Chains A and B, each alone.
Chain A
């Protein structure tokens, strides 16, 4: 039993060591998380540098998720979070950066992991965070033309005019209807 605990402790230690050596000269701040996952806070300008180092030098080959946390009305308002998995070392890392609530933007990592395109689109859809450099950043779940970002804290859970787009479509449909032209004639 002890060997298991020792192995786990050793692995976490090794992970932290590996990441520290990979991040070398890049400024980062280590965070203590309750689940024990190695986590780092970085400056938003250094996203690409840190992610490149994690992928190429620390062996984190898979992006698990891209998401955001809204700390309204605190400032800086948004925390963008990434999680990565190394399939060769079997360990994980999380990276956080905080960006302001006014025109929130952060660099895209689709150049490093093309599969993050959908995660970033969802994050844009729900929080309105602009991933600079993303070539197809548009609505994913909400319809095109929707005005709001539903997972922001200042968005009411019942929505703001949730039926607006449907009503506009319905009006166009009724304008086209032959029944209407009959009644106008």
Chain B
């Protein structure tokens, strides 16, 4: 299967046509961000308020919260993610169709927050490629709306059609380095707790 690359190896990416197609595609994507509400704790309540009529993210095309990952573009991790829940979160993320984005809402999902604990993921960027971090405990709906606006700005800078012209049809996975191109977070392998020893001095598992 050949790509649309021209014979001399240069994609016709700088042309007026490519940028205009990118503009249209991005316009469609950024104004129909359908969130997957992964409401795990109190942040989920703020998320509901944000989707509801008072804060109304329908103004930005993001009100269609779908509880099937197949119909979502935007994963909002709202709350404390535990290691036991992490597998489910990763599965939901994998089931979302491309292109997809992740917002870590609140300090717990951004960094573990006050739960410096054995059971809590110290930031969802350990398991998911995060696009935006929203501080707050929980953040006000305004802050999350601001993050959605920032994400729209971020989407505007993407060049999906240009990638297509360069032959990167999937635009996701680089088989050479075995890394995801747009989602480069698989290098994160360690946690902070490896070196912590119990007071008995015996190393637990390692």
State the A residues within 8 Å of B (CB): 72-73, 142-143, 147-148, 150, 153-167, 169-170, 173, 179-180, 182-183
Contact = CB atoms under 8 A, between A and B. Distances in A.
Please tell me the size bucket of the interface on B: 20 to 34
B173 interface: yes
Interface stretch (B16-24, B114-122, B143-151): B114-122
B191 A156 contact: no
A25 B86 CA distance: 54
23 contacts: A72-B199, A73-B200, A142-B84, A143-B83, A143-B84, A148-B205, A150-B118, A156-B193, A158-B117, A158-B193, A160-B196, A160-B205, A161-B205, A162-B119, A162-B191, A165-B83, A166-B86, A166-B87, A167-B189, A170-B87, A170-B90, A179-B175, A183-B175
B204 A160 contact: yes
B84 A155 contact: no
Nearest to B174: A183
A182 B175 contact: yes
B200 A162 contact: no
Nearest to B176: A183
Contact of B193 (A153, A161, A166): A161
Interface of A, secondary structure class, is loop
A105 to B, nearest CB: 21
B118 A169 contact: no
A159 B206 CA distance: 12
Given A143-B84, A166-B83, A158 B196 contact: yes
B193 A155 contact: no
B117 A159 contact: yes
Counting from the closest, the 7 A-B pairs by CB-CB distance are A159-B118, A183-B175, A160-B204, A158-B193, A154-B198, A156-B196, A154-B200
